[in-house]
Chains A and B, each alone.
Chain A
């Protein structure tokens, strides 16, 4: 990298660019040589260091062969040599740093022809920068010198300035030593590793070795080792004979060692490298035996007392290798990442754990309140297994976690190590976030806000367009833009609906409103689109039509905005009131405690009292905090209501402090008085707040609610009147029917019928005949002749029964007994259907031939069925014709009923119009009530017409349908009223809050009718009324049948899928 002379370093007079560049070139070159020389020097220092280290490590392989002082001396020598070499290299590397001048001189030594030009250049430049006499020389001279020196640079021999020759020998030596070390490592790995371990980790103790050195050598041989492994390991005891005495086993293993000493001994012991001594039994002076339990790795040797008390010791130690028991491993298979679970839900966890010897326990550890909590989810102490896999259902609902809490957790496996104690392994940590339905609801409230803004922007676009006086072309373009915007709004409705389906606290009114909006906007946008595509656009009234449709659309949008505005306010207030749940609870608890204390005087209650006071204060503070957060979102009139204002005036903290002080001072009377006063104050405040909130629960004005109630009453009346019409008509019909008894069929009709019976009889004969002609098929399953005949006959016989029935029918007709004829016809039809079914099955199963017979059978059976239908219909017609013949008086009654029916129809239409008007104000009122009323009116019209024609039989069906439509409308209306009443009842109850009834002095009795219309027949919602998705599902299913935009269809589809699931 080229070093650039910075402007700051340029001496006085170095403004000349040529001078600067010349000097920079010289300095750069010298600097590069200096760096190279430095690298070479460092390598020269490092190589001897590496040589020493490699040699020392190689020499360490000798250590296992040495004992005592020699061993320690070698260790010390090796470690010292390595340390000294390292220190020397470090010192030399730091001390012998070469400056720029030295580098220049080195270059000049390799290039004598330069004549000190480089060193002069450096020194002159430095002098030029100095003040005083040193710098008093010509800049021109310096310029010239630098220029000439720079010109020499390309010719310089730099290789000799920093020669690498000197590295050759050290590198070769290092290579040789390193190769030697590697060879040793590969040839005698154990020894080398042992030596290295001894060099680096062995303790600096000579006790055992000194002792050994003070003894005569003991010769042992033919070691037999009996291993008894720890019970938890499950490994069977093993015996290894003819070993060299090295021991290797699991920690805690009991080893019985047997060997034979050549020298006779009176006693013997095992001495370990840790200094432990194990006495050996000596049998026959040479058979030695001892037991030791493995705990630490190291070495041991045997020493004994020989003849004459001479101490003998093995000159060479035996190795003790202790195999460790590994930590268990555990993996959390599910969940695979952090999860969110509802407070009342559960979390399935699956895991897999393993250990080298066995697992005793799997536990779930979670952290809460800064502490770890353990839940044992599996124990295997009785029969530990090396590998475990399992599932666990963590019941979050039982843990008492609060919404919004984040709980870190992991799994922990413990092994069955009884020696060192159970070792544990941990899985990865996950975080469980307790799902907050309330939090979710708030997010969706924010989404509703966004949607609301979109509605307002959409309205602004319409008003903006209306304010412009546009020519037709612009009008069309503007209209297109508005329609596109409308579709986006529609899409947002869809998205919001879907999102709200996951909202536990979603307001049904919002869902209903959105559903209704989606329907209406879809239809109206469709109309507008149709008009936009109208080929007769140039027609003068086109613009007027566009504007008219726009105005209608805009009117609906405005109403929806006002209603949605109200809905959002309502939900905001409900949300706040839900926050007051804890406060209600704490207040009620405090009231109970005060009452109990007053009754019992039990001092044990005082501590509870203090705790409840803290809870109450915390709940109040939380509520206040929430109110402060929501202040901008809450309706202004709610925030400014007296009750809300009084919150700060109550100074809860101050009052609680006084109460605590009174309790601490033992002034219990004052404390109770204060508590009661406070509760009363708090109760009033909360009641006031609830009252303020209740007005936002009223999604209908009292006047509108009254109208709804009146409509319900009107519908009651209409159903009653319709029922009366129906009853009246039935009476007339019955009378006419009775008068017509016994029924006599019309002669002409009877002749026609007889002919049809005859034709049917012929067809039946033809069917029977064709069946009997059938033979086994050539490609069939080759049944025996007998078997097919049997089946064929069985298929044909029922037609004889049918023909006999026809004969009976003829008889009834001859006797003019129409009722009996009808019954007989019914029976014949059943028999015929059965006969056809059986015969067809035979044909299909057996596939008999010939084809002609099959075809003929099919035609005959179809024809007979058709004729049977005709006969039955004719009979019914004859029956009706015979039955309904109202006389003059009955005709008069029918006329009267017809007029009554018409009056009921008009009243029904009137109710429908009123309802439609109301729906414009309250879009969440269901549309299908209008549909039911419409249908009822249509049916009434039909019924009325039939009555006018004097046909009570035909009038009965539409009249009955009309009543059913009315009943359906009435039911829908009552459900709506219940829903509205529910919203008026105060949101707190639905949100899980609500003032506890009759709980202490601060409580407020709730009669359940707050906000209701006085005298209105509004029923309280029953249990089923809260199962809103049922109705909603019906709405969506119905909507699916109607033409709707794609986005809406997908909504329906998606929702339907969910329902089905």
Chain B
């Protein structure tokens, strides 16, 4: 049922920021322009600004009034403001110090309200630092002292403290990966490897070091992820957000939460780009540029750099260029998550990624950084662009369109906009492709042929089923599911050579779909092309390491190569995921 699928696509759903800081505006990863172009956080940022303004006015008002016995002193309030700003800057050491100072000041003042606020801030600090038990205790103290019943942070802290009660942690030089012991432990090593490689590349690109190790949390459920990010369940469901950079940490969902996993390694790199951009430029960078940079650099952990758009995105962009129908930067505001369809989301990513590419190609990274610097002080991205490129925005836009056209992307009619599927219950990734459903049948004759193919295949008439799939592909040559059905059917018919054609096409068009890699890997394995098979099956595991099928093949392949260490690692992981 397609309505249970998240609408955004794999990369399209990636999102940073959020809007739930206990001190409004204190921890937004990037963007500053409240009025336009600052992405998913801008909505909150405007609220943040208003709240900060109100806070200052309130503080000034307090300082001008004689303090009552229960009211915080002016010094306390000044320190509190500083502490909040510090926390917003992700300066956790200073925030820690200031939170203690606030507690001392409140104790010295003897003001009950001040003490409550000091504990509340301490709770915020603990929450930011990922110490949920501490946050929970501090919030309980705050609640007791203030009598406040609005304790959202307490509920979240309680939940997360429970989730991470027995968390496992793996560390590298610059990252700490936190996960739930058990199946998710297989993610730790690849995640750290990815992040260290990204670190090596991206800190150089952006010329900034994060300092203290960055905490990465792999969430075992959407429920816990929702508590951590404070995004509403509806927002998560509608936007398909699966990863967030917030509170100076990266939070991602385990691929286990999706039916067929997702490219979590690219996602980690993508989020780390957000991290660095925010750390370097604060919240001044608008959403389109933030996402453009993250998208442009998300494969950086595995290659030299540059955009690598999927064929689907290329097709969408080509179509948009032909029809001159783009998603404008303003439409991208306040968040990609608010774009109406996965198609719009993917097109937006394609646009911003190529915009960054355009900047890099025309002015180098220097131009990009200059723009980011300019945007820290100039909330109008149009004038900022004019200033750093010397071109009015319209001219810049026209040049970018010409640049994008020059990239030679081909429009592929019939390309599917794929979406990630949230796993329900104990459903696992099937080595089979999806069944043709009633809703599919209404889409067109290709699905009728596909259904006939399924019926024939399920009864062992593989050649005949292939014939029907062939008819389906004549109508819908770019259908991911039909390509996989055709490939798998040839595989079942032991005609491995024929299986390769549709499967390679599926990989080329839809590189984020793990099932294709498995089908391809199995066919290649049967053909004796074990090196290629290992490559494909490895890619499947990069997307969904919880599918046991690739392990068996890979173990056999590496046993053949006498690569004992890899065999052992695979066997260990296999035991973990099937345990």
A residues adjacent to B (C-beta < 8 A): 453, 456-457, 459-460, 463-464, 466-467, 558, 561-562, 565-566, 569, 635-637, 640-642, 645, 648, 695-696, 698, 701, 703
Contact = CB atoms under 8 A, between A and B. Distances in A.
Nearest to A559: B448
Interface stretch (B180-188, B323-331, B433-441, B481-489): B433-441
Interface residues of B, number: 22
B455 A637 contact: no
Contacts of B455: 456, 561, 565
Contacts of B463: 463-464, 467
Interface string B404-442: 000000000000000000001101000000010111011
Given A456-B459, A467-B467, A562 B435 contact: no
Contacts of A467: 463-464, 467
Chain A's interface: helix, strand, loop or mixed, by majority?
helix
Interface in B1-43: 1, 4
Interface of B: 1, 4, 424-425, 427, 435, 437-439, 441-442, 448, 451-452, 455-456, 459, 461, 463-464, 467-468
A1031 to B, nearest CB: 27
A459 B459 CA distance: 12
Given A640-B427, A642-B424, A464 B464 contact: yes
Contact of B456 (A456, A566, A569): A456
Given A460-B461, A561-B455, A640 B467 contact: no
Contacts of A636: 435, 437
17 contacts: A456-B455, A456-B459, A459-B452, A459-B456, A459-B464, A463-B456, A463-B461, A463-B467, A467-B467, A561-B452, A565-B451, A566-B438, A635-B437, A645-B424, A648-B425, A701-B442, A703-B442
Given A463-B461, A561-B452, A562-B452, 13 more contacts: A456-B456, A457-B459, A460-B464, A463-B456, A463-B463, A467-B467, A558-B452, A562-B448, A566-B438, A569-B438, A636-B435, A637-B438, A703-B442
B445 to A, nearest CB: 10
A857 B337 CA distance: 105
Contacts of B1: 637, 640-641
A637 B451 CA distance: 14
Given A459-B456, A641-B1, A562 B438 contact: no
A546 B424 CA distance: 50
A176 B438 CA distance: 98
Contacts of A457: 459, 461
A569 B451 CA distance: 13
Contacts of A453: 459
B435 A463 contact: no
B107 to A, nearest CB: 43
Given A456-B456, A457-B459, A565-B455, A463 B438 contact: no
A37 B427 CA distance: 83
Nearest to B3: A642
B442 A456 contact: no
A466 B455 CA distance: 18
B437 A637 contact: yes
B463 to A, nearest CB: 7
B442 A463 contact: no
Contact of A645 (B425, B435, B456, B461): B425
Nearest to B442: A701
B393 to A, nearest CB: 45
Kindly name the residue among B435, B439, B461, B468 whose own CB sees the greatest number of chain A CB atoms within 10 A: B461
A551 B456 CA distance: 17
B4 A562 contact: no
A665 B427 CA distance: 40
B134 to A, nearest CB: 32
Contacts of A466: 467
Nearest to B467: A463
A463 B437 contact: no
The 5 closest A-B pairs by CB, nearest first: A460-B461, A463-B464, A460-B464, A636-B435, A637-B437
Contacts of B456: 456, 459-460, 463
Contacts of A460: 456, 459, 461, 464
Contacts of A642: 4, 424
B424 to A, nearest CB: 5
Contacts of B468: 463
A703 B456 CA distance: 28
Contacts of A641: 1
A637 B3 CA distance: 12
Nearest to B424: A645
A640 B423 CA distance: 10
Contacts of B439: 637
Contacts of B451: 562, 565
Contacts of B461: 456-457, 460, 463-464
A14 B451 CA distance: 79
A453 B459 CA distance: 8
Given A558-B452, A561-B452, A637 B459 contact: no
Contacts of A640: 1, 424, 427
A854 B427 CA distance: 97
A698 B441 CA distance: 13
A640 B435 CA distance: 12
Contact of B438 (A558, A561, A648, A696): A696
A478 to B, nearest CB: 14
A1052 B62 CA distance: 97
A386 to B, nearest CB: 68
Contacts of A695: 438
A916 to B, nearest CB: 18
Contacts of A648: 425
Contacts of B424: 640, 642, 645
Nearest to A703: B442
A562 B448 CA distance: 7
A889 to B, nearest CB: 55
A844 to B, nearest CB: 71
Contacts of A561: 452, 455
A569 B454 CA distance: 15
Contacts of B427: 640
A695 B4 CA distance: 16
Nearest to A647: B425
Nearest to B452: A558
A118 B442 CA distance: 101
B474 to A, nearest CB: 15
A613 B303 CA distance: 63
A703 B444 CA distance: 13
A562 B441 contact: yes
Q: Identify the interface centre among B437, B455, B467, B468: most chain A CB within 10 Å of its CB.
A: B455
A461 to B, nearest CB: 9
A919 B333 CA distance: 50
A835 to B, nearest CB: 72
Contacts of B459: 453, 456-457, 460
A466 to B, nearest CB: 8
A637 B448 contact: no
Contacts of A558: 448, 452
Nearest to B441: A562
Contacts of A562: 441, 448, 451-452
A641 B424 CA distance: 9
A446 to B, nearest CB: 16
A636 to B, nearest CB: 5
B64 to A, nearest CB: 51
Contacts of B442: 701, 703
A648 B427 CA distance: 13
A459 B438 CA distance: 21
A561 B456 CA distance: 11
B431 to A, nearest CB: 15
Nearest to B449: A558
A624 to B, nearest CB: 14
A558 B472 CA distance: 13
Nearest to B434: A636
B420 to A, nearest CB: 16
